[in-house]
Structure 1
Amino acid sequence: MPPDLPGFYYDPEKNRYFPLKGPIPGSVRKTAPVQNSVSEATEVRSFLRKAIRNAKLLQDRELYGNIISTRKRKGSFQEEYMKTLVSRPMVWKYQGTKKNANAALGLMHANVETPVGQFGTDFLLTGGANGSLSLFEVGKKGQQFCHAQKQTAMRIWPSTIDSQKEFCKDLKHIWKLSNGASFLCSSNISCISMPRKQAFHPENDASTASFAVVTTLGSESCSGALYVLNLGNPLELNSQSPVIGRSLEVASLNCTIWTADCNSSGSKAVIGTNLGVTSVNLETGVPLTLCRSKSDVLCLQLIQSGNIALCGFRNGAILTVDSRQRQRQLARHHIPYPSPKLCGTSSRTSSTRDKPWFVLRGHIHPSDTIYMPSSVSCLASLQLYDQYFLASSMDGSIKLYDHRLIQRGAIQSYEGHVNSHTRIHLGVDTYERFVLSGGEDSSVGIWSIKSGELLYRDKFSNSIPSAVSWQLSEESPKVPIGRERDEDECQGGRDHIWGAWLGSEEGLFWMQFM
């Protein structure tokens, strides 16, 4: 018997050696399947890059500990690992949800009564530009309801990785309720707002609430309206009694309502209108004017325990209004417009202004005014660092500001967002690491809040994803203030799944990170 040679095998019939890497003589060579499109090959390469990067991160952690070096800077293993998850999401589209959530959406929690007992579950409250308001049960418990229809979902991104089919069992099921869980408002839904619980608190689930404020835009034939939806009492979903209709309290205001926010106790709501800012007592329905302006307030958010309203105006100004003001007469202020170079606006835009300043009445600090290059589209204040807030404008700008450094301008910018005239929501995850937003080019982008990196940007819809709401999975551990998750907590794979709901004219989308 001839001796064995490394890398070769001996064929006794042919009395010769053959290399192990080549094809066996007489065998049929298999041709590789042809890719159907460039996008399919791109998806495969992207998943391979993600697997390679995860392996490299694990190797670096073993060699260098929790602090590892990247191309640009040093970072923690946990931070870099979370970025790899966010950079490659899986996206599902739900059938039968067209135009249900293209205006606003939010997550609520409620207890429900069923024949087998009482249990808690999450609901997705969606608002459409056509005035429709609907409730969807999120999870697998909706099958116990007599008046519920399961909405089928189809994975649309990525579409070619067959090995990922096993993750479909982690898909969020939603059930559309039919017994009074839909409501048609008098005009378009403009905002859905819920009390912001203290994030990172062990006793609170910051991802859901049982109370919501809903506003409608108003029209020529009807005024803007303010609705209060309270799901604090257990719901009997198997009965014929309506779910939304009986829980709504309406307060009509003779103005256009663009946005709203409510305090943590749910006793007060502050709304932004075409006339300024108004506070509404949700128990008595009594309105109180806080600010008057000829420039519409397109977005606002309550900060500092609800004492201050951070407001974004159509003319690009961002300023704070004291929501506790009860003076009979509002102080008059002349807020100067900045030079085009300072705010990034064109000289043509500044030349169309009649005056170098605009008049505003209210309890404000004019020196703390910030100007975006265009109309302010969305504001999102951070809870972990309450001095920071994100702002986006209708020229595609997304910036991070610090209240203590207002005069220095933005401390971080996020590139790659596309917008020109649409009110598009910003979504910040529960741990305030990432910000997500759709664009007018129908794409979705995810940025790292800390570094400003664009981690993901792709298009899986043919309409603008204008509404977003992050959801933390019930399997994910809560992290107290001042402590990051342990290394083992970041490697749980499917044990620690979180994602975001997106709404566009095409319907609901679930973006999941694993």
Structure 2
Amino acid sequence: MPPPRALPGFYFDAEKNRYFPIKNPIPGSSSKKPKITTPKSPQTDQFQEKSRSSCRKLRNRISKLLQIRELDGRHVSASHYCKCNFTEEFRRIRTSQPTIWKYQGTDRMCISALEHLNVDVQTLEGRFRTDVLLSGSISGSLSFSEVGRIGQNFNDGVKWMPYCMKSNIKGKEDGHSKVPGPLFRHNGASLHMSSRISCIRLGPNLAPHVASDSPIVGNALFTTLGSETSGGSVYTISLVEPIDLGAGILNTWSRLEEITSFMCTLWTAEYDYNRHRAIIGTNQGGASVDLESGTRSWFLRCKSDVFAQQIVDSGNVVLCGLRNGEVVSVDFRKKRLLSSRFPEHRISYVSSDKRVGSSNQGGFKLAGNIYPSHTIKMPSSISCLASLKYDDQYFLASSVDGSIKLYDRRMLQRGAVQSYEGHVNSHTQIQLGVDPDERYVMSGGEDCKLRIWSIKSGELLLEDKFSNSVLTTVCYQSFKKFKAEEENQYTYNSSLGAWLGSYEGLFYMDWQ
């Protein structure tokens, strides 16, 4: 009898004279074969505990990790009980060991909003491309600060120098090989607004998702919170042409334009890149503002403040995080309605805390083009929302009770996909920071500690206290623009870095 013909994905059993499919392991499942369970002796328990301990020590020994990789290849195996991917393990080690700098003299900035951008700056010596921090404070001050070399030519201003608070490189505690540049601010580089700067967002050409070493400069959007006597306002500032951060700073501020004002509190804002609009979260609901004409229209009306927003679904839907803990999905595109009234909804939400859900009777009323089935409720007021740009079906949500969770908009009925433990909060709006590769999420806490988690696994990678106040704002920088100074006094770190702001001052964190 001729031998059977080979079929891809099948094997032939000669005894049963038939083909059987080759069943691969389920993705994410263990590749270990089932074992016969036997009673464990104390010696066995001690052996397993030592194995787990050696696995933990592996994360702190990069040189050993490299040696094992060379011997064993892609998968690092420290023991029978610990196997990991070399690249992932190395990234976790690097993320858990940042170098932290504090800028001396920034303790009175009281930062409430912060963005890093790369723009053309005009000086007496010519035009340069440089990094700039645009920051807002709780007192209403809006400021430009130049990072690096150009500000050294300013005759009238302040200079803030960084000093290393923490370094994980041996022998570099006092002198680091890669020092971030100093900050320069001209005396006229601050503009005082009527109330606290509640939010700063970069325009489409300055958005972090633009993948370019030299992005085209556009504009920036910011909002003021409002006060007891007046509401908040929406502003833009053009950055298309080179800005002057020195003696001609007034020419830069002349580009500032007030788009519109509200008779209510403006908590947050997002930039709708597709339609050149600002999406505003207020104490009366959500509104859309045309940045060309100033025309505004409401897309959500509710009695609960909108504390956080994120635009998803290719710019057609906005997630609104409310004071009462709900996250609702709203279609904010303009639609032709038979009447001027919004459709009203009573939301029956999926609670991330069963105890909270059982105590609520009848849901919550709000008006707008709501997707009732795409609504969740967290235990307390929403502090921050952050969608993942690689797949905006996923979004991170934090609430002021200390909960941080990852959700999939396609499976909200099943609850959170991942939880991140250890966060401390009770009443503060704290911004979540997601790195450009969307592997990690960081957040300050009311215990003044900074924490970093793996988005995928939920593992806490870093828990460190280096500030005496809550780190409420964070923004990443990943531009690779600065060159070393001639004297090599300052070299700009082209690796990933993050700016952290608090009432105490300004911090910079990098991974080298």
Scaled by the length of structure 2, the TM-score of the pair is 0.80
Match status 1:82 vs 2:64: no
Check 1:376–1:209 CA distance in 2 against 1; reply closer, same or farther (3 A cut): farther
Instruction: Give, in angstroms, the shift of residue 149 of structure 1.
Output: 2.6
Corresponding residue for 1:503? Answer: 501
Match status 1:61 vs 2:69: yes
Corresponding residue for 1:344? Answer: 353
Instruction: Give, in angstroms, the shift of residue 432 of structure 1.
Output: 0.8
**CA contact 1:107–1:209 (8 Å) conserved in 2:** no
Could you tell me which of 238, 241, 245 is aligned with 1:237? 245
Check 1:329–1:306 CA distance in 2 against 1; reply closer, same or farther (3 A cut): same
Match status 1:512 vs 2:500: no
C-alpha separation in 1, matches of 2:106 and 2:187: 13
C-alpha separation in 1, matches of 2:282 and 2:78: 46
**CA contact 1:110–1:122 (8 Å) conserved in 2:** yes
Check 1:201–1:451 CA distance in 2 against 1; reply closer, same or farther (3 A cut): same
Instruction: Give, in angstroms, the shift of residue 173 of structure 1.
Output: 2.1
Corresponding residue for 1:97? Answer: 106
C-alpha separation in 1, matches of 2:78 and 2:341: 56
Gaps of 5+ in 2: 1-55, 483-491
**CA contact 2:352–2:415 (8 Å) conserved in 1:** no
Match status 1:410 vs 2:419: no
C-alpha separation in 1, matches of 2:160 and 2:498: 17
Could you tell me which of 186, 189, 197 is aligned with 1:189? 197
What amino acid is aligned across from residue 118 of structure 1 in structure 2? R
**CA contact 1:105–1:468 (8 Å) conserved in 2:** yes
Could you tell me which of 137, 152, 166 is aligned with 2:146? 137
**CA contact 1:211–1:266 (8 Å) conserved in 2:** no
C-alpha separation in 1, matches of 2:128 and 2:383: 38
**CA contact 1:110–1:210 (8 Å) conserved in 2:** no
Corresponding residue for 1:331? Answer: 343
CA deviations 1:120-172 (Å, max 9, x no partner) are 11211111111111111122232133444321222222599653444254323
CA deviations 1:219-242 (Å, max 9, x no partner) are 111111111122111123344341
Instruction: Give, in angstroms, the shift of residue 177 of structure 1.
Output: 2.7
CA deviations 1:18-66 (Å, max 9, x no partner) are xxxxxxxxxxxxxxxxxxxxxxxxxxxxxx9789521122123212323
What amino acid is aligned across from residue 458 of structure 2 in structure 1? G
**CA contact 2:500–2:508 (8 Å) conserved in 1:** yes
The DSSP-based 3-state class of the residue aligned with 1:236 is: coil
Check 1:336–1:60 CA distance in 2 against 1; reply closer, same or farther (3 A cut): same
Check 1:87–1:239 CA distance in 2 against 1; reply closer, same or farther (3 A cut): same
C-alpha separation in 2, matches of 1:190 and 1:67: 47
Instruction: Give, in angstroms, the shift of residue 194 of structure 1.
Output: 1.9
Could you tell me which of 224, 227, 233 is aligned with 2:235? 227
The DSSP-based 3-state class of the residue aligned with 2:67 is: helix
Check 1:405–1:136 CA distance in 2 against 1; reply closer, same or farther (3 A cut): same
C-alpha separation in 2, matches of 1:187 and 1:475: 34
Q: Within 5 Å, give how 1:244-283 maps onto structure 2.
A: 245-250=253-258, 251-264=260-273, 267-283=276-292
Check 1:73–1:421 CA distance in 2 against 1; reply closer, same or farther (3 A cut): farther
The DSSP-based 3-state class of the residue aligned with 1:56 is: helix
C-alpha separation in 1, matches of 2:239 and 2:78: 47
C-alpha separation in 2, matches of 1:510 and 1:503: 9
Check 1:236–1:67 CA distance in 2 against 1; reply closer, same or farther (3 A cut): same
Identity of aligned residues (%): 45
Greater shift, 127-136 or 300-309, is seen at 300-309
Instruction: Give, in angstroms, the shift of residue 82 of structure 1.
Output: 1.9
Check 1:216–1:52 CA distance in 2 against 1; reply closer, same or farther (3 A cut): closer
**CA contact 1:263–1:305 (8 Å) conserved in 2:** no
Could you tell me which of 219, 223, 226 is aligned with 1:218? 226
Scaled by the length of structure 1, the TM-score of the pair is 0.79
What amino acid is aligned across from residue 378 of structure 1 in structure 2? C
Gaps of 5+ in 1: 1-47, 477-493
C-alpha separation in 1, matches of 2:129 and 2:414: 47
**CA contact 1:199–1:383 (8 Å) conserved in 2:** no
C-alpha separation in 2, matches of 1:107 and 1:336: 40
What amino acid is aligned across from residue 281 of structure 1 in structure 2? D
**CA contact 2:111–2:137 (8 Å) conserved in 1:** yes
**CA contact 2:311–2:318 (8 Å) conserved in 1:** yes
**CA contact 2:445–2:470 (8 Å) conserved in 1:** yes
Corresponding residue for 1:150? Answer: 159
Instruction: Give, in angstroms, the shift of residue 362 of structure 1.
Output: 0.5
Check 1:50–1:495 CA distance in 2 against 1; reply closer, same or farther (3 A cut): farther
C-alpha separation in 2, matches of 1:178 and 1:90: 30
**CA contact 1:322–1:364 (8 Å) conserved in 2:** yes
**CA contact 2:498–2:508 (8 Å) conserved in 1:** yes
Could you tell me which of 110, 115, 120 is aligned with 2:119? 110
Instruction: Give, in angstroms, the shift of residue 308 of structure 1.
Output: 1.4
How many residues align? The count is: 442
Instruction: Give, in angstroms, the shift of residue 398 of structure 1.
Output: 0.6
Check 1:169–1:83 CA distance in 2 against 1; reply closer, same or farther (3 A cut): same
The DSSP-based 3-state class of the residue aligned with 1:167 is: coil
Check 1:232–1:170 CA distance in 2 against 1; reply closer, same or farther (3 A cut): same
Please report the RMSD computed on the Cα atoms of aligned residues, expressed in angstroms.
2.8
Corresponding residue for 1:425? Answer: 431
C-alpha separation in 2, matches of 1:168 and 1:135: 27
Instruction: Give, in angstroms, the shift of residue 265 of structure 1.
Output: 5.6
Check 1:413–1:241 CA distance in 2 against 1; reply closer, same or farther (3 A cut): closer
Match status 1:368 vs 2:377: no
CA deviations 1:64-122 (Å, max 9, x no partner) are 32343578875542322121111111211112223425311011221112233212112
Check 1:415–1:237 CA distance in 2 against 1; reply closer, same or farther (3 A cut): same
Check 1:504–1:238 CA distance in 2 against 1; reply closer, same or farther (3 A cut): closer
Match status 1:458 vs 2:464: yes
**CA contact 2:346–2:362 (8 Å) conserved in 1:** no
The DSSP-based 3-state class of the residue aligned with 2:172 is: helix
C-alpha separation in 2, matches of 1:73 and 1:387: 32
**CA contact 1:301–1:309 (8 Å) conserved in 2:** yes
Match status 1:359 vs 2:365: yes
C-alpha separation in 2, matches of 1:425 and 1:380: 9
Check 1:138–1:441 CA distance in 2 against 1; reply closer, same or farther (3 A cut): same
Greater shift, 150-159 or 283-292, is seen at 150-159
Could you tell me which of 309, 316, 339 is aligned with 2:318? 309
